[in-house]
Amino acid sequence: MGLDVVRVGLAERSYDIHIGTGTLPRIGELCREVSLKGQAAVITNPTVGSLYLQTVQESLQGAGYQVTVITIPDGEEYKCSATLESIYDDLLGAGLHRGAFIVALGGGVVGDIAGYAAATFLRGIPFVQVPTTLLAQVDSSVGGKTGINHPRGKNLIGAFYQPRLVLIDLLTLDTLPRREYLCGLAEALKYGIVLERELFDYISAATDAITAVDKDVLLHVVSACCRIKAAVVERDEREGGLRAVLNYGHTIGHAVETLTEYRRYKHGEAVAIGMAHIARLSRLLGLASGEETDRIVALMKKLGFELNLPAFPLDAFVEAIGHDKKKGDDGVTFIFNRGIGDFAMEKVTDVRGLLAELERDGASREPGE
Ligand code: NAD
Ligand code: GLY
């Protein structure tokens, strides 16, 4: 079985992403390699902890670290200030000082809040990401966005704070529920559609293996996603421009989540709907051909995504998009696909007009039909 290392080159904040199967027992040794010292605080949740904590804990202890375990409740609703406070309490209670470090063991929720705790505790202590969902492996553990939700919106409080290393064990995907796996696939596909046609073609040719969670194929896919995301983050760490390309499908996706009150869809499912419909818009705007759009939609369907856009009233849809965090004063930035493997970033002032295009084209029918 292969092992890949992807470097995120950010001068003194550079780090490696280690990707392979059965890599979890190496966490202690890898922390030593990057010169982490002192006490380790592993932050996880009961779901992931019951599966993988023992391996991580034993490896860290085997490498000579004293380990404190902090377990937070499972769920997006716990990515909040109350949980953050409880983490600070536990870190202080365990006597952690500035020489210590945090290990985030879990999906994007654990990674985001543990990373933000690391960024802020005693004005910043090092942290390590051990992502266990596909979404966290291809997206959230890489690039240093950390944070929590606020009652007024998701991810409104946070910091850019890079980890010291990321360790990905593809075996953890064997226990991931199928819905969560698909959510990660949506983000993986995103890189192919707007940034690298080779990845799109590779995924297209490997759908059966991907559905079967084949580790050789996933090693290729996850490594490619990390390499592509690293290249974007290296050029635009703090989202001054280019990094916004990673929001492909997310502007419509966020509106879908908002209008269904975060109950009906998981984030990745809403993003998948957003991607399919922004692909349709890209065709309507002449940026992609009908054939390319059909390929995108057909691949998403084959992977098992449900792509119907609920028939929201146009006013509510426009309003929900207008509230997207990425909205500037003079419009909403949309990412379109230019064919497959490239993108166009456009500030749209007439959001109503754009969405009306979708309606005229038959918003309620499935894309590609
Ligand atoms: P999640 O962390 O809630 O994990 C999904 C579910 O899977 C949880 O119930 C979790 O306990 C469980 N789980 C995790 N690993 C498992 C495993 N190996 N086996 C079985 N169950 C497992 O969700 P997510 O999709 O990983 O992350 C979503 C979060 O990531 C959101 O809060 C989102 O805002 C954030 N995010 C951050 C970035 C970033 O750049 N920082 C990017 C994208 C998303
Ligand atoms: N997931 C978007 C980003 O990391 O910028």
Spacing, Cα 147 to ligand 2 middle (Å) = 12
The residue out of 125, 141, 175 marking a domain boundary is 175
- pLDDT for 165-174, tens place per residue? 999 999 999 9
301 burial via Cβ count (<10 Å: 0-12, 13-18, 19+) = middle
pLDDT of residue 348: 93
How many domains does one find in the chain?
2
- The reply to whether 29 and 156 lie within a common domain is yes
The residue count of the chain comes to 369
- The reply to whether 252 and 333 lie within a common domain is yes
Spacing, Cα 291 to ligand 1 middle (Å) = 34
Question: CA-to-CA distance for 143 and 365, rounded, in angstroms?
Answer: 37
Taking residues 177-182, what's their average pLDDT? Answer: 98
pLDDT of residue 363: 47
Question: CA-to-CA distance for 296 and 276, rounded, in angstroms?
Answer: 7
287, 344 Cβ separation under 8 angstroms: yes
In this structure, what CATH number is given to the domain that contains residue 54?
3.40.50.1970
Q: Which residue has the tokens 């199928």?
A: 178
- The reply to whether 212 and 346 lie within a common domain is yes
Spacing, Cα 347 to ligand 1 middle (Å) = 30
Is residue 273 in a domain?
yes
The residue out of 149, 175, 201 marking a domain boundary is 175
pLDDT of residue 365: 47
> Does residue 69 carry a pLDDT above 60?
yes
- What residue numbers bound the domain in which 199 lies? 178-362
- pLDDT for 191-239, tens place per residue? 999 999 999 999 999 999 999 999 999 999 999 999 999 999 999 999 9
In this structure, what CATH number is given to the domain that contains residue 249?
1.20.1090.10
Taking residues 326-334, what's their average pLDDT? Answer: 74
> CA 203 → CA 20, 133, 268, distances in Å?
18, 18, 17
Q: Whole-number mean pLDDT of the chain?
A: 94
- The reply to whether 351 and 328 lie within a common domain is yes
- pLDDT for 275-313, tens place per residue? 999 999 999 999 999 999 999 999 999 999 999 999 999
The residue out of 175, 198, 226 marking a domain boundary is 175
312, 286 Cβ separation under 8 angstroms: no
For residue 110, give the ligand nearest its CA.
1
| 308 has catalytic annotation | no
Taking residues 137-158, what's their average pLDDT? Answer: 95
| 267 has catalytic annotation | yes
Task: Indicate the pLDDT class of residue 323, thresholds 50, 70 and 90.
Answer: low
- The reply to whether 186 and 281 lie within a common domain is yes
